[in-house]
Structure 1
Amino acid sequence: MFTLSQKKLVNFAALVVVISFALQCEKGQSPSQDIQIKKNDSLAAVKKDSLIQDSIKKNTIVYRSFIFPKKKKDSAMSAFNKEFSKEDQYVILAINRLDLKNKWRADTLAIPNKIDSTLMAYAPFPYHLEILKEVHKMVLFSYPIQAFASYENGKLIKWGPTSMGSKAAQTKRGLTFANWKKELSISSVSSEWKLPYNFNIHNTLGIGWHQYDLPGYPASHSCLRLLMNDAKFLYGWADQWVLNKGGATLRANGTPVIVFGDYKWGAKKPWKNLIQDPKSDNISVEELNEIIKPNLSKILEEQKRTDDVRSELNAAKAGEKVAA
């Protein structure tokens, strides 16, 4: 048996349930429908961005400035060297499109609140591109933000700074394919210029990516300069072309590469705005979709041809081993 106070408590709880149910009905849905909709919304969000956690991590990065006054540059550099290790400096300078050799060029550096040696926390490129889900490998070079990105089946696996062609010797835009590579090349402009991990993308124009100075702006003679670690990575990761017997004609292309966009010569560099806006040098999915879409059929067509050729070559090698 309930006491009078217990009966009042039960009646009050029942009233709350009724009111709650009534409010749900006023919205045109039952409580069970509401639960189902929330569940479906959650699943849709996950499908829309399969790397939500990575995005959250990226959004936690904020930047402060480190200034090198002209009249006190030496003392500022001394303070910079004291505060940050060589490993940390490498990361900070990469964000600012510089290498260790050219850190003396710095005037104001954007310093992240967290150091990520992989650089992925600061990626200006989307972590996932659905449009590239069927493309085995893809390399993108952006003129506006002076950076490259490597994708595998639409997933960003690496990005880094670059120094592309100067205003007088701009890198050719558009779709091309990785051709031949050489671990150490000599520049055709000057025999004194050594180019480690050179990977050609324009055979007739002599344009490729390789390690060389990163001064914080486009300064090359059309090539795509990279940090040593990035040049070494792309050298081993990207695929070369396949030539017919004799080496005079092309049988299949290598990894697709797109160079895109226009650099705002004389304007403030996008990465210089990171202190005010951590997303100032970001490139959106929509922008990249517009760049990739017109080239996608060609990329997939060449990819199929390359896959078929490599399958034939592998089958032939397997047959030779069995015969031996």
Structure 2
Amino acid sequence: MVFNLNGMNCFISFICLIGVFLLVQCNKSAGEEEVHYDTIQQQQKADTVQKDTVVKKEIKYHAFVVKNKNKDFKTLEKMYSQEELHAILAINRLDYKNKWRADTLVVPDVLEKDFTVYSPFPKNVSAARNIQKLAMFSYSIHAYALYEKGSLIKWGPTSMGKKATPTKMGLTFTNWKKEVAISTVNSDWKLRWNFNLYNYLGIGWHQYDLPGHHASHSCVRLLEEDAYFMYTWAEQWILNKKGTVVLAKGTPVIIFGPPVFNKKPWLQLIKSPHANDYTEAEINHEIQPFLPEILKQQNIKRQYLEHVP
């Protein structure tokens, strides 16, 4: 009998190759399960979730105790740039004018240029994915969030109605706007970048003092740069030529709670960096009761604009 050694060697190599292939498949089955997606959209959604998980930063905070107002704030101004100090004050729901009101400041261990990394609001909200624009104000943590098609684009501090004059809660829509409005409570109060929310009540969002607690007469106070951004971002209602009938409403706004008047929730960040965080499920829960009305009004506006000559 004659053996072909070259043929035998090829046969053995082939058997070894099959064995290696089967071993890899077994290891794959025993380890990470292979996932198949039915559509490109499912794959893209999964990739987005994975990306968000990877890039999310863990922020930790420490306390800066203010004992001597002048001395300690001069120290802060030496330690941090103007932009960084502005972010620190915003996290503590203060503007620069009212910085002296703080006894303790919550300070991130690492100052990031992207302010959204400190957001207590979820980056994506599925309940809002069909809403073009949505503004949300939390009475509980003294903060707002802006979403476009369910994606967070901006957040920041607020000071809302104090206990004696609370801000009306629930769903409303932006109405008219004015660069400088005069308060109906005191004619000396000039409200910059005012956007009306409740027409007959005279309640709107605008720039005004942020003292680190709810202090307004029902309106929603903002930092000037935030008020200006929202002034240009949100949409006004559409009226008929006589200005007597609302043809389409503006941007939906949800104000939710419960209100917190005598506490500073952001101080909890020192012990727990996620103490003020809302989960996506919690924000979805706030949106769901109003979703049919929001989508209805959004559709009315779309149809009107499509037929405008």
TM-score, with length taken from structure 1: 0.82
Match of 2:64 among 57, 63, 66: 66
Q: What is the aligned partner in structure 2 of residue 284 from structure 1?
A: 279
- Give the structure 2 partner of residue 9 of structure 1: none
- Measured in 2, the distance between the counterparts of 1:275 and 1:46 equals 36
Name the SS for the 2:206 alignment partner. Answer: strand
The equivalent of 2:289 in structure 1 is 294
Contact 2:141 2:260 in 1 (8 A): no
Contact kept, 8 Å, 2:213 with 2:261, in 1: the verdict is no
Cross-structure match for 2:74: 78
Quote the Cα distance in structure 2 between the aligned partners of 1:128 and 1:264: 25
**Letter of the structure 2 residue corresponding to residue 141 of structure 1:** F
How far is the alpha carbon of 1:33 from its aligned partner?
3.9
- Deviation, 1:238, is 0.5
For the residues of structure 2 that align with 1:101 and 1:282, how far apart are their CA atoms?
A: 27
Report if the CA contact (8 A) 1:144-1:261 is conserved: yes
Pair 1:110 & 2:102 matched: no
* Match of residue 163, structure 1, among 150, 153, 159: 159
Residue equivalent to 1:253: 249
Sequence identity (%) = 46
Task: Establish whether residue 213 from structure 1 lines up as the match of residue 209 from structure 2.
Answer: yes
Task: State the alpha-carbon separation in 1 of the partners of residues 196 and 248 from structure 2.
Answer: 15
Q: Against the structure 1 CA distance between its residues 251 and 148, is the aligned structure 2 distance closer, same or farther, given a 3 Å change threshold? A: same
Q: How far has the Cα of 1:289 moved from its partner?
A: 1.0
Alignment match of 1:274 (pick from 265, 269, 272)? 269
Query: What is the rounded CA distance, in whole Å, between the counterparts of 1:244 and 1:97 in structure 2?
Result: 40
Corresponding residue SS for 1:109: strand
Q: 2:261 aligns with which of 256, 260, 265?
A: 265
Two-structure CA RMSD over aligned residues (Å): 2.5
Q: Is the 8 A contact 1:58 1:122 kept in 2?
A: no
Question: Are residues 310 and 112 of structure 1, via their aligned partners in 2, closer, same or farther at CA, if it must alter by over 3 Å?
Answer: same
Amino acid across the alignment from 1:207 = I
Q: 2:140 matched to 1:147?
A: no
Q: By percentage of residues, which structure has more helix?
A: 1
Structure 1 pair 88–263 and aligned structure 2 pair: CA distance change class (3 A): same
Count of aligned positions: 289
Q: 1:137 to 1:108 in 2, by over 3 A?
A: same
Structure 1's 46 and 67: CA in aligned 2 closer, same or farther, altered over 3 A? farther
Q: What SS does structure 2 have at the residue aligned with 1:271?
A: helix
Unaligned 5+ segments in structure 2 are 1-15
